[in-house]
C-alpha cells in the first residue's frame, strides 16, 4: 500500500490490494510522508473504504480530521469489547458514528453541558446487554481521558450498538423502535390492568419478539405465512389477548401508517397470552 495523499499526520489516502480507495488512520502514519511513499502497515489502526457507493470521501475526511485520534482509538477499543460481549457482528458504520458521538459527548462534558437521555429507562429494560456494554464504555473513556460521563451516555452508546446490529436502520429509527416497544407494553398493561413480570422468561422472549417486530415495521418487511384455520382458532380461544392485539394494531396504524397482517397479530396474541398468563 502506497501513500496517494497525506491528509494530516494521522490520516492518508491510499488504495488497498483490491484497488478500492481508502482512508487509512494511524498515529504518525502520515508524518513526513509524501505521495508514493510506502505505508508503514505496523502503524495502521483503521482503514475506511470509500468505494462502497455509500461513503462520501470529503465528508468522511472532514469528520475524521476533527476527531482526535485518541478518541478513535478508544472507540475501536469499545467496539472490540462490544463485539466480544454481544457475540455479534456490528455494521462498520459504527466506527464513525460512535467516534463522533463520543467526541461530542466529551466536548459537552468539558463545557458543562448535560444531555439527558429521555429513553434511558426503556433502554435499560429492552436493551439491557447493550446498556451494560455502554456502562463499560464509560469506564474505558474515564480511564483514558479522566472524564466521568453520566449514565445517560451509556444509554446513547447502547442505541448506537443496537443500530449497528440492524441492517438499513437509522439511529432515529432505532430510537422510534424503542418508543414503539414501550408504547406496546403500556397498551398491554392498561388493557389487562396488570403489571408484567419483567424477569420471566416469557417476558424476555416477548421483548425479543417486539424488537424484531419493530424492525420489520420500520423496514416494511411484514410476515405472512400462517394457516387461516389456526388463526380463527386463536381468535376464539384467546379473545381477550386478541382484543389487546387489535388495540396495538390500531396504535401502529395511527402512529406509523402500517397495516398489520393477521399473521403478525397472531404472533403478538400468542406472546401476550404467555406474558399475561390470565
Q: What is the pLDDT of residues 96-135, one digit of tens each?
A: 889 999 999 999 999 898 889 989 999 998 999 999 999 9
In a domain, 49, yes or no: yes
**Phi, psi for 8 (deg, rounded to 5):** -160, -170
In a domain, 64, yes or no: no
Sheet holding 46-49, edge to edge: 5-8, 11-15, 21-25, 46-49
Q: H-helix or E-strand containing 149?
A: none
Tally of residues, the chain: 278
Q: Mean pLDDT throughout 152-179?
A: 88
In a domain, 260, yes or no: yes
Cell of 235: 381468535
Q: Are 171 and 159 in contact (CB under 8 A)?
A: yes
Residues 207, 156, single domain; the answer is no
Q: Which residues contact 240 (CB under 8 A, 6 or more apart)?
A: 191, 192, 278
Give 17-20's long-range contacts (Cβ < 8 A, gap of 24+): 20/49, 20/50, 20/51
Tell me which of 56 and 253 has the higher pLDDT.
253
| pTM reported for the whole predicted model | 0.76
Residues 25, 83, single domain; the answer is no
Q: Which residues contact 237 (CB under 8 A, 6 or more apart)?
A: none
Query: Averaging pLDDT over each range in 29-33, 59-63, 117-121, 187-191, which range is the top one?
Result: 187-191
Please identify, among 164, 192, 210, the residue that sits at the C-terminal boundary of a domain: 164
Tell me which of 85 and 236 has the higher pLDDT.
85
Q: H-helix or E-strand containing 8?
A: strand 5-8
Tally of domains within the chain: 3
In a domain, 205, yes or no: yes
The rounded distance, in Å, linking the Cα atoms of 193 and 218 is 29
Q: Can you give the CATH number for the domain in which 222 is found?
A: 1.10.1790.10
In a domain, 60, yes or no: no
**Phi, psi for 24 (deg, rounded to 5):** -110, 130
Cell of 268: 403478538
Q: Can you give the CATH number for the domain in which 13 is found?
A: 2.30.24.10
Residue whose C-alpha cell reads 457475540 in the numeric block: 87
Cβ atoms within 10 Å, residue 157:
28
Please identify, among 149, 164, 179, the residue that sits at the C-terminal boundary of a domain: 164
pLDDT band of 56, cuts 50, 70, 90? low
Question: What is the per-residue burial (b if ≥16 Cβ within 10 Å, else e) of 160-176?
Answer: bbbbbbbeebebebbbb
Residues 253, 227, single domain; the answer is yes
Residues 103, 179, single domain; the answer is no
Give me the domain span that covers residue 73.
69-164
Amino acid at each position: 500500500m502506497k501513500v496517494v495523499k497525506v491528509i494530516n499526520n494521522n490520516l492518508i489516502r491510499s488504495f488497498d490490494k483490491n484497488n478500492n480507495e481508502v482512508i487509512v488512520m494511524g498515529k504518525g502514519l502520515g508524518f513526513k510522508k509524501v505521495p508514493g511513499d510506502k505505508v508503514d502497515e505496523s502503524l495502521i489502526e483503521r482503514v475506511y473504504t470509500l468505494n462502497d457507493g455509500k461513503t462520501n470521501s470529503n465528508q468522511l475526511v472532514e469528520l475524521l480530521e476533527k476527531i482526535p485520534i485518541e478518541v478513535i482509538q478508544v472507540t475501536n477499543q469499545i467496539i472490540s469489547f462490544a463485539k466480544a460481549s454481544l457475540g455479534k457482528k456490528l455494521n462498520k458504520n459504527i466506527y464513525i458514528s460512535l467516534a463522533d458521538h463520543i467526541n461530542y459527548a466529551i466536548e459537552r462534558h468539558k463545557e458543562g453541558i448535560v444531555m439527558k437521555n429521555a429513553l434511558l429507562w426503556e433502554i435499560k429494560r429492552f436493551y439491557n446487554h447493550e446498556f451494560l456494554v455502554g456502562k463499560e464504555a464509560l469506564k474505558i473513556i474515564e480511564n483514558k481521558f479522566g472524564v466521568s460521563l453520566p449514565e445517560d451516555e451509556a444509554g446513547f452508546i447502547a442505541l448506537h450498538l443496537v443500530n449497528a446490529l440492524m441492517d438499513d436502520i437509522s439511529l432515529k429509527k432505532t430510537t422510534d423502535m424503542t418508543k414503539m416497544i414501550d408504547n406496546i407494553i403500556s397498551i398491554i398493561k392498561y388493557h389487562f390492568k396488570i403489571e408484567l413480570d419483567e424477569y420471566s422468561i416469557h417476558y424476555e422472549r416477548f421483548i425479543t419478539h417486539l424488537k424484531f417486530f419493530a424492525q420489520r415495521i420500520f423496514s416494511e418487511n411484514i410476515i405472512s405465512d400462517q394457516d387461516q384455520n389456526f388463526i380463527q382458532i386463536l381468535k376464539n380461544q384467546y379473545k381477550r389477548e386478541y382484543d389487546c392485539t387489535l388495540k396495538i394494531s390500531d396504535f401502529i396504524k395511527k402512529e406509523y401508517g402500517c397495516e398489520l397482517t393477521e399473521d403478525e397479530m397472531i404472533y403478538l396474541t400468542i406472546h401476550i397470552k404467555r406474558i399475561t398468563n390470565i
